[in-house]
Structure 1
Amino acid sequence: MSAPAGPEFGSDAIVELLVELGIDLIPFAPGATFRGIHDSLVNGRADAPEIIECLHEEISVAVAHGYAKASGKPAAAALHDIVGLQHATMAIYNAWCDRVPLLLLGGTGPVDAALRRPWIDWIHTANIQATQVRDYTKWDDQPASLPAAMEAMIRGRQLAVAAPQGPVYLTIDSEIQENLVPEGFRVPDPGRYAPAEAIAPAPAAVEAIAARLVEAEGPLIAVESVDRQQSALEALVRLAELLGAGVVEVQRDYNRTELCVPTRHPLNLTGMPLPARPDVVLALEVRDVAVVPGLDAEATVLQVTTSGLAPKAWAADLQRVQPAELLVPAQVSATLPLLVAAVERLLAERPEARRRAEERGAATTGHSAAARTAWAATAADAERITPALLAARLDTATRGHDRVLANGSLHNWVHRIWDIGRVDRYLGSSGGAGLGYGLGASIGAALAHRGTERLVIDIQSDGDAMMTPGALWTAARHRVPLLIVVENNRMWGNSFMHAVKIAELRGRSTEHAGIGTRIDDPAVDFVSLAASMGIDAGWRVERVEELDAALAAAVEHVTSRRLPAIVDVRTEE
């Protein structure tokens, strides 16, 4: 049977619009409420988005999350009505906190109650379905017709990519999917609906920031985001060099949001004591300046952020009210080039300020070099496999490759040891610190790069992996070229540390801190687990002397065969 010239059913039109919106894959765990879309994906146009088969909705959204960050464009996922949506909620919250543009399509049983089958359609239909995730999505809609669904998809993409970016959720009634398209219906051209331009600062604000930075005795740049744009990273480096100012990336317990400054740049002071207390701090998308080292109440804070443009009351990810002498509602990527030009002009007019900047830069360079020497010595200690040593050995094993670290940082030791200079080489944290992110997001990143020679790496904590182990099957099913290095400390590491801390605070013994926090007796065998799901390239590492050979063999497997491999490394703190 030949396919019709245009869309025949509503779901055909939905898939056609997905193609026009640039969506090239769609992860999902199958569900009857989007069976129409499913059929149109497999029996419709040849260039329909590729289905990425997942075993859990949290994995589906995490795959889209990682794909969006690696590809630099919005991604989509499909979810089976309210039960699938409830499975996916943690992953959606991660994407919200991580400011990642996702177009989430949720099916639903017939909204028209007269059309529902007994029992199943009733328990799988909600009024309104998106209330489940409304507090951590940018926008949602439940269109009542196919033309309204088309408009909702176009608007959803516009809102998802507008600053601050984030996920949107659309509920597509099964009747809209499965009915014939109306007479004379045409899929709209999304090219007529351009996404919003970047939000630029007012010229007076740029001049004010530039003047304060040039006049400062000890300026510091604190940064949490450069909008994942390499040009913004390079502008930030230029600004720091002009001012001789140190740069601090905001560190978290669960890695950093993204790469904002090259890890080995001599003005990068992240993770080390500052050489002096700053008197002026330029905070770029920093959600809580209280974490900036050396900051005191006397320092002047200048904020550039979009965080106030899409606040939600339910989740507290907006964090505390931030101090600021100047609060500029603009994107970092739009602000930095203007700020560089303004500072260049001021320094050309003020030779004394330029001299002070050069002296500051020289002093900061010496300070950071000493810290990096100490870090290298710590990582070279080969008595046991610590996160520092694993970071160093993995660096050596992968250094000759065009690598992308999709997940993990070994407690920030990667940033201390590796030379990473591009935003697309480190994809950052989950955003919401929700467990179950790593495997799915890394698969998404590897799918984005499978047509290249890049080596995508997942430094995978054991507890996070056990939240969504079914993602290993997706990696095998789709022949995903991904190097998975399990940081297997056989515990919920953060919870174990808190158990020790609370016992110490109460003057109690710490010998029971492992009860309820260790993943041991039995220990999880990740190599066997992966093999059971189709990943037959696996290595177990218990001792330092086994590590290099295992990593080398796994890297060779991924790069030569373009298939997944796993190295289960027993680590110690």
Structure 2
Amino acid sequence: MQSNYTTSMAFLEALQEAGVSYLFSNFGSDHPGILEALALAKQVGKKLPQVITCPHEMVALSAAHAYAQVSGKPQAVFVHVECGTQNLGAGLHNAWKGRVPVLIFAGSSPFTQEGELLGSRNEFIHWIQDVPDQRGIVRGYMKYDNEIRTGTNVKQLVHRALQIASSSPKGPVYLMGAREVMEEETSRVEIQTERWQPISAPAIAPNELSLLIQDLLQAKTPLVVTSYLGKNKDAVAELVKFCEALAIPVVESVPNYMNFPSTNPLHCGYQWNSPVQNDLIEEADFILVIDSDVPWIPLFNKPSEDCIVYYMDDDPLKEGMPLWYIPSKRFYKADAETALMQLNKEISILNIQHAGIEKRREKIKAYHAKQRAQWEQQEQFSDEVITAEYVTACIRELCDENTLIINEGISNYQSSYTHLKRSEPGSILGSGAGGLGWNGGAAVGAKLADPTKDVICITGDGSYMFSVPSSVHWLSRKYNAPFLTVIYNNRGWKSPKLSTLGVHPDGIANETNEFYVDFTPHANLSKVAEAAGGAYARKVENPEEVKEALEEAFAAVKSGRSAVLDIYLPSIQEETNMKAGNEHATV
């Protein structure tokens, strides 16, 4: 038995020192040093992060992603050389665009082949998996990447990587190390972790603060637009305080967190891809955009030319987006909570009270009430068809302040956020990006981060299949992380159809109804979870079964067993036929 102190042991110690709880791992032939160090630690009772064995890399990264969202603490993902790195796939995009801290470690093929060093090549795959630039695979999606070349400074590399990952704007980092290096005997290094903390939160410069407040107070129809301010739960309370002081309405644009309580009278709804002008954006004479990549889509929805826009974000230049611009009077690189605390302090000193604010408050309350009444109408039960709005309203009835929603509903994002009406900070999470298949691993990661939560995962049938459900539900059972999945099943990819119609509304694809998105023959999706993870599985096609099925499935989750409900909404073909019938009736 090898009992010496190696680079692998130092590496794992560094992760433990940094507060990493889990290694979401898919090990390979490049990890003998890591596996030996883990075995030794277990034998001698040494505490290291717990290994979560993940049969698919995308699931591993999605789980680490959501774990960090819930806990605020970055986790580690271990994958096998360049093959495992590439199998992380869309998860890399999600962590990068979603600003989620995670450390990814991949081995690399040994660099000796005749036994010169321990770990030298001894399998044919070591030649095949040797590529010119393994780090280059991920470089466009990482805040930092590096190679471990010696054990003498591996702890410094780990702490630097995690410091970068956890500093605003947060994001993933990547380290790789060859077998010989990870097997190398080395000397122990003691790290003072308090010297490797993330950078402090940026604030608004004092002279800029007064300019913003001056323009804000002169506005008659101010508005706040946000998308991911809720990534910091404490920022939500500051935003509520700010908006209530001056009666400022809030619109959530493409949200992936709960950013402002839906029940607050100043909350004025959600927007996604609908090709319509938002009336509040159009009427606003002052807009404060806080934490939003896409506050509006200028092609059909934007402020007036006279509107004053202030843009505040921890990444206000979007240097990772080659085409991006929102002409604004000022751009602030600022942490939302910190900046709002500054604004709230100044506003409290000014003690602003006048009739215009109260008149605006009453107007927005009426707008909010009318909007909610319309939403309630959309939720009505139909004995002929199951609608996304009705299903979402039924899910809402199951939820309380202890429920966490994982949302990858894609074409049903609008209805899910609208009708869930979430009001607790941290109560709903999206990936923050467009790499489909995040939902399943994310549900497991969220449950591991906070086992007290009841986790409900909302997904479409397409994104469910992308999520590698066989891996997800094996993982869920093995690590006692039960959750409820509700599949909004329209038997196809609705989003490509909607995109095509958005560009060619009267085109040949529409005329012939040929979009190549139909999932025929239809798979019995819930049975995948039953076979792989012993999940409660049920297909629901009758509207009258929806509530009862949800209650039964949720009870199974409460008892410790994952559940999957495959709920049949109108199929893409049925929607087309219904639309044609309505148009004919109108004529």
Q: TM-score normalised to the size of structure 2?
A: 0.88
Contact 2:147 2:175 in 1 (8 A): yes
Shift of 1:400: 4.4
Tell me the residue number matched to 1:100.
100
Tell me the residue number matched to 1:333.
337
Tell me the residue number matched to 2:585.
none
SS in 2 for 1:547: helix
Residues in 1 aligned to 2:38 and 2:318: alpha-carbon distance in whole angstroms = 33
What does 1:165-204 correspond to in 2, within 5 Å? 165-182=170-187, 185-204=188-207
Residues in 2 aligned to 1:204 and 1:126: alpha-carbon distance in whole angstroms = 52
Change (3 A) 1:471 1:42: farther
Tell me the residue number matched to 1:552.
551
Tell me the residue number matched to 1:442.
443
SS in 2 for 1:443: helix
SS in 1 for 2:208: helix
- Which of 309, 316, 324 pairs up with 2:328? 324
Contact 2:7 2:150 in 1 (8 A): no
Structure 2 residue 294 is matched with structure 1 residue 291: no
Residues in 1 aligned to 2:554 and 2:129: alpha-carbon distance in whole angstroms = 45
Residues in 2 aligned to 1:82 and 1:508: alpha-carbon distance in whole angstroms = 39
Tell me the residue number matched to 2:457.
458
Shift of 1:501: 5.1
- Which of 21, 24, 49 pairs up with 1:24? 21
Contact 2:318 2:324 in 1 (8 A): no
Change (3 A) 1:226 1:189: same
What does 1:531-542 correspond to in 2, within 5 Å? 531-542=530-541
What does 1:425-436 correspond to in 2, within 5 Å? 425-428=427-430, 430-436=431-437
Change (3 A) 1:507 1:465: closer
User: Which 5+ residue runs of structure 2 have no aligned equivalent?
Assistant: 115-119, 272-277, 576-587
Tell me the residue number matched to 2:168.
163
Cα deviation 1:469-503 (Å, max 9, x = unaligned): 33222222222121111111111110233355566
Residues in 2 aligned to 1:119 and 1:81: alpha-carbon distance in whole angstroms = 14
SS in 1 for 2:202: coil
Shift of 1:274: 3.4
Residues in 2 aligned to 1:144 and 1:501: alpha-carbon distance in whole angstroms = 51
Shift of 1:440: 1.1
Cα deviation 1:507-533 (Å, max 9, x = unaligned): 56544335x201121x11122211210
Change (3 A) 1:536 1:110: same
Structure 2 residue 246 is matched with structure 1 residue 243: yes
Shift of 1:186: 2.6
Structure 2 residue 156 is matched with structure 1 residue 151: yes
Change (3 A) 1:299 1:412: same
What does 1:73-84 correspond to in 2, within 5 Å? 73-84=73-84
- Which of 277, 302, 306 pairs up with 2:310? 302
Residue identity opposite 1:147 in structure 2:
T
Residues in 1 aligned to 2:209 and 2:129: alpha-carbon distance in whole angstroms = 52
Residue identity opposite 2:162 in structure 1:
R
Structure 2 residue 228 is matched with structure 1 residue 229: no
Structure 2 residue 5 is matched with structure 1 residue 14: no
Contact 1:16 1:187 in 2 (8 A): no
Tell me the residue number matched to 2:218.
215
Greater shift after overlay, 261-270 or 91-100?
261-270
Residues in 2 aligned to 1:227 and 1:159: alpha-carbon distance in whole angstroms = 21
SS in 1 for 2:148: coil
Tell me the residue number matched to 2:53.
53
What does 1:29-48 correspond to in 2, within 5 Å? 29-45=26-42, 46=45, 47-48=47-48
SS in 1 for 2:180: helix
The total of aligned residue pairs comes to 549
Tell me the residue number matched to 1:526.
525
Pairwise CA RMSD of aligned residues?
Answer: 2.2
Contact 1:139 1:159 in 2 (8 A): yes
Cα deviation 1:310-344 (Å, max 9, x = unaligned): 733xxx3x642221111111111210110111223
Residues in 2 aligned to 1:534 and 1:289: alpha-carbon distance in whole angstroms = 40
Cα deviation 1:554-573 (Å, max 9, x = unaligned): 111111x2221111111126
Residues in 2 aligned to 1:291 and 1:518: alpha-carbon distance in whole angstroms = 28
Residue identity opposite 2:329 in structure 1:
E
Contact 2:314 2:333 in 1 (8 A): yes
Contact 1:66 1:444 in 2 (8 A): yes
Tell me the residue number matched to 1:416.
418
Cα deviation 1:436-473 (Å, max 9, x = unaligned): 211111111111122x2x21110121111212233222
Alignment identity in percent? 25
Contact 2:253 2:294 in 1 (8 A): no
Change (3 A) 1:238 1:50: same
What does 1:103-122 correspond to in 2, within 5 Å? 103-111=103-111, 115-117=120-122, 119-122=124-127
Change (3 A) 1:309 1:20: farther
Q: TM-score normalised to the size of structure 1?
A: 0.90
Residues in 2 aligned to 1:143 and 1:310: alpha-carbon distance in whole angstroms = 30
Residues in 1 aligned to 2:514 and 2:499: alpha-carbon distance in whole angstroms = 9
Change (3 A) 1:534 1:289: closer
SS in 1 for 2:263: coil
SS in 1 for 2:405: strand
Residues in 1 aligned to 2:413 and 2:292: alpha-carbon distance in whole angstroms = 20
